Structure 1
Amino acid sequence: MEIRHPKPADADAIYELVAEHDTRVLGRPDLTPADVRDQLAEPDFDPAADGWLAYDGDRLVGWASARRRGGSDRVDLDVRTRTAEAGTALWELALARFTGVTADIGVYAGDTAQREAVRSRGFEPATSFHRMRIDHEGVASDAFLPGVTVETGSGDDEELLRAAHAVKEEGFAAHFGNVPQTFEEWADARESSSAHDWGQVLVAKVHGVPAAVLVGTNQFVPDENCGYVLTLAVRPAFRGRGLGKLLLRRAFAADRRRGRTGTILQVDSNNTTPALGLYLSAGMRRVLSIDIWQKQL
């Protein structure tokens, strides 16, 4: 067996391996080739140090990654293999990449084999994320609140994007696994993704003061023709005023106008705010659960 680091040209082979794993667990792939290309190009990911491929002859039998979130002590792991030999080797490499950090790995709730793989290596359950979805029907209509204006982002409007970033940072400060980002780090991360669109950033202002932000992307357009809410945050001082639901309804209406069949988002089941209740009240339903397992390295 040969092990080497990945290159951009390996994206399709990695996709086929991960899609095979997803299909075995979910009945369908849960990513696209573009998702893999984006991962290999993320600013926080160095393919020459943070990723590994295992080959048996010409056949790819394993893929692993260990991505540190900025300069933080949080690391996201992923290990997918076709053989036990590849699993043993790649898990060892991934777990040895960083020390003095907290490692997180997502495991589909129904993936018993992967759950046993992480449990046997000392990982423990930390939280779960629910993927929520709403299907769009009828005519799009925007929502309004007295004293609240909603502004749409643009790559040319740095002032509004900086306001969006500031709200995001304050709103997510206490959330699971949150890692603070400078504006430049956040903007670079967004622009490195092929699903990125500054035009899907919405900032709600209460009497002119930035209070809530929604960041949408095209991540689920290629495979599900759905919009995706990557981020929804409300500053603590403005919570309980309906701003989250307002921005959700604005995003739903915009996705309808774009011809999307639905909108998707993901929520921490242990969110510090009653976010799950908000999404259910907005008409969303749970379609998938991913458990986050954690280990100190």
Structure 2
Amino acid sequence: MKFRWTWCLPLIASLTLAACGTTGGGGARPTGPSGPAGDAQSLTAYHWQLKQAYTPAGTEDQSWFITSSSGKGLLQLDFVDQRVVVKNLCNVMSAGYSIEGQRINVTRTMSTLMACNDNQLMMLEQKVGRILPTAKQWAVQLGQGQEAPRLTLQFIDGTKWQLDGKPTAQTQHGSAPERIFLEVASQRTSCNHPLIKDFQCLKVREIRYGDNGVKTHTGPWENFYSEIEGYKHEPGVSNVLRINRFKRQNVPADASSYVYVLDMVVSSAIEKRN
């Protein structure tokens, strides 16, 4: 059995960016939430997914929406530790940001360096990397009842994005997470799940690292009866994952006491059979 390692540590490099068009679709949402305006903390409380985009002339712009062959979802922004992180592109892109009232200042984007076989997605990534540092104004309108909050971002050239918010795990669970690392084996395994017949468990082991990044501990392989939010297992590929583990407030019967949320894929290994 041979392995080819593809590293996804947050190596960063400035992007040389060019404007490119893409095709796809996103449904128009003519009305926004009816709740009060949000403050700067509301930026960090939600995952923001792009729902509408407009050209500088005010017409709806579909070029920010594509049907990705890799199964990526809508463009998503997360505001974490004074950085805005862009997900669902080929790479994870990020930039520093600061808020001054309703103004937002975004630094040059940085990115991981994973290869991408989806040309449309790579073109969209380049387009996002070019426009993001030109953001100039933001506004959050909170929802009422079942309404999702809405983030509006406006850019220097007049382009406008409208993004709907989904609560982050920390917002949902009301406490800071514990950071852990799990290695996930390349294949699921049969296991005796108390609620699901013929369940296939992930097989995992805990990894620990010292402050210098050197591995200090590798635990035994164990069946993992839960799922990891944000992680989609691909058979034949093993991964080391950085996980945010949250303590559940109200634990359902026969459920885990923890919620596991993917923070980052640290490394991947593709299993090759002779």
Give me the TM-score of the superposition, normalised by structure 1. Answer: 0.27
Give me the TM-score of the superposition, normalised by structure 2. Answer: 0.28
